[in-house]
Structure formats: C-alpha cells, structure tokens
Amino acid sequence: MIIGRHRNTYATIDLSAIQHNINVERQHMNDGQALFAVVKADAYGHGLVPVAIAAQEAGVDGFCVALIDEAVALREVGITKPILILGITPVQQATYMAKYNLSTAVGDLQFLKEAQVQLEKSHLKLRVHLALDTGMGRIGFRNQKDLSEAIEFLEKYPNEFDYEGIFTHFSTADSSDDTYFEMQLNKFQNLMEVVKKRPKYVHVANSAASIWHKKCGGDLVRLGIGMYGLNPSGKEVDLPEDMQIKPAFSLSSELVAVKKVHAGDSISYGTTYTAEKDEWIGTVPMGYADGWLRRMQGSKVLVEGHECEIVGRICMDQFMIRLPYKMDIGKEVTLIGENNGKIKTAQDAADFAGTIHYEIVCSIAQRVPRFYKK
C-alpha cells in the first residue's frame, strides 16, 4: 500500500495516552494478574510496532495478536515477551510458530495430533492456549470430554507442547444486561472442572470484563480497546470514575478547494445533494479508499470549531463539506479529535454510521499516514 505522505490527511497517535491507559488498567487489576496488550489488526488501526513498543515501555507482560504474521513482525523488531495468537492457526505452521517462540490458540484435538508429528521431527516445542467456546460460537472446546482428551494429549507429549494457558471470551461483557455473561461464566466454570492442574495462564478478561466483571478473575487481562482510550461499551455503560482513559487516535485533513455554489447546483456523484441557496463548499482530500466510507455522508466534521456537514456522496479520494462562510484553503479539518475547543470522537462517527468505534478506527486505511507523539 502506498502511503499518502504528500497530502495533508493524517492520523496522529498519542503514545503517552496509550501508556496512561495501561497504567490506569494496572491500578484496576487484581494482584498477581498479568497484562497482555492486544495489538491485533495493526493495533486497532493505531500502528502495530509503535504501539507495541510503547506498551512494552509501559511494562506490559506480553501481547495478543490475531495472525502469525503480526506476531513475527513483533519478534523481528526485537520484542521477546510472550505473544499469543488468538485466532486459529494452520497446523502446517506449527513448527514455524515454535521457531519464533509464539503461543497459539487451539480449539480441537486434531490440531494437536497433527502438530505433534511435525514438532517431534523438528525437535521444537509449541506453546498452546486451549480455547473454550462458552457461548461466543467462534472457536474452542465445547464439552468436558473433548477438553479432557486434549489436556491428556498435551500431558502425554511434554517435549512437543508447552501447555501454557486456557481461556474463553465473553460476548456480552460490555452490556448492562449480564444474563448471558453469567451463563458463559457458568459454562466456563463447568468446563474448568476437568482441569486438574491449572496452566500458567487461565484468562477470561478482555477490556470489558476487566472493568465490569472483576469477579471472573483469571491470571491474565487481555487489554484491547481500553488501551486505546475507548469505552468497550460505547455509550451503553459509563466507565467507572477511576477509569479515566484517554483516546489515542485523532484524524485530520484540510481544505484543498473552496468554491461558491448557487441554488440548484448539485454536489458529487448521483446528485444526492442540491443546494437550496448560495453556499460555500469545501473539498477535503479523503474518501472511502481512506476508510471514511460512503455511509458517512451527512455526518459532520470540524473546521475552525464549526460543525460542517458532508454533502453529496463521499468519493474514493475526496469529500465535500458545507462551510458556514468562505474559508481559506489549508484550514484544518478534524474528523476525530479536537478543533478550536470542539471535539469529534470515534464514538460520534460510530453513532452516525450505526456501528462501533472499533470499526471506525480499524477502517482507516494504510495510505493515511500515522504520526506518533509521546
């Protein structure tokens, strides 16, 4: 992907905010719990390597990713702390993961059987975390029998496997209704009855569970969206007063063209917007190829502290906004962040788009450069 370094559209990532959020989480955790920073999906759009290095400086105990390639990228920049791959990985890559001293989620016995043959031949040991499906419906063991067989297999082959962890994931830990959460917790506890010897890490707490469900315990917290300063619950449940986290992501562009249009003039593809009177229109060099998708038509950005509506369809590389008056070319346009005392958040964008703030920040394309401040 070519990065657009010669246009004034960019994201700014505040690494000090990320470190602040890690410290806030530390103060909220139980004694003895480890903290793994979740940096999958390019650190939720914030930048994998810079965020991981900042998190390491803040004292996290390890990292979680989704892909083997993400984990290897961290190893190649010198990160030696534990790295857990949360997604199911191809069994053909078992020795490759072992070579890089990675931990991988395992959700079925067949993976272990096929991996054992490869690992024995290569004289390598693979770290594994057994995944339990307690109601997410994604990956993992679903009953005691299958789980028992997997544990017995791991114990039979200590030279090929380091049985490092066991975990589950709660699908409604961020909800004000804890009915389904309680069902999942009960199922997890039921499955854990066959675990006679606990591995090093028994973990269930994502950002939401660590905030609102401390009773679920565990030896490890997987800090994801909270590390980036966003409320895991969106607007449904307020954060506790002692969880004063700071958003780390801001997104800016500028006016590259300003023109006066007249009543009856239409803007952009499909003539979905027609001026009812004379108006000043500004063009912003960012579009759906940059992750500001067409569904954001009608949302508002900030220019000189004014909320300016996106009019007409968002193009691949540009969109147009209605200005309150003639403004100079080069004026800053804020999509996420602060502008002249006014603030637009990722949550605001998510509310307009009918989605979650995770998707907003993860959708900002790689061709939008990231700049980092400490």
332: pLDDT strictly greater than 90 = yes
DSSP for 28-75 reads: HSPTT-EEEEE-HHHHHTT-HHHHHHHHHHTT--EEEESSHHHHHHHH
* Domain residue ranges in the chain: 32-228, 249-373
Confidence of residue 299 (pLDDT cuts 50, 70, 90): very high
Give the Å distances, CA to CA, from 168 to 64, 187, 300.
14, 10, 39
Residues tagged active-site: 40, 269
CATH topology of domain 32-228: TIM Barrel (3.20.20)
CA 300 to chain centre: 24
Confidence at residue 28, expressed as pLDDT on a 0 to 100 scale: 87
Of the candidate ranges 23-32, 234-243, 296-305, 308-317, the one whose mean pLDDT is the lowest? 234-243
Per-residue pLDDT tens for 205-243? Answer: 788 888 888 777 789 999 999 999 999 988 888 888 888
Exposure string over 89-123, b if 16+ CB within 10 A, otherwise e = bebebbebbbeebbbbbbbbbebbeebbebbeeee
Amino acid identity for residue 177 in this structure: D
- In the CATH scheme, what architecture does the domain 249-373 have? Beta Barrel (2.40)
Q: Vertex 31, ends 28 and 36: CA angle to 5°?
A: 70
Mean pLDDT of 93-118: 98
* 188-206: average pLDDT: 94
13 close to 371: Cβ distance less than 8 angstroms: yes
How confident is the prediction for the chain on average, in pLDDT? 96
Coil, helix or strand for 236? coil
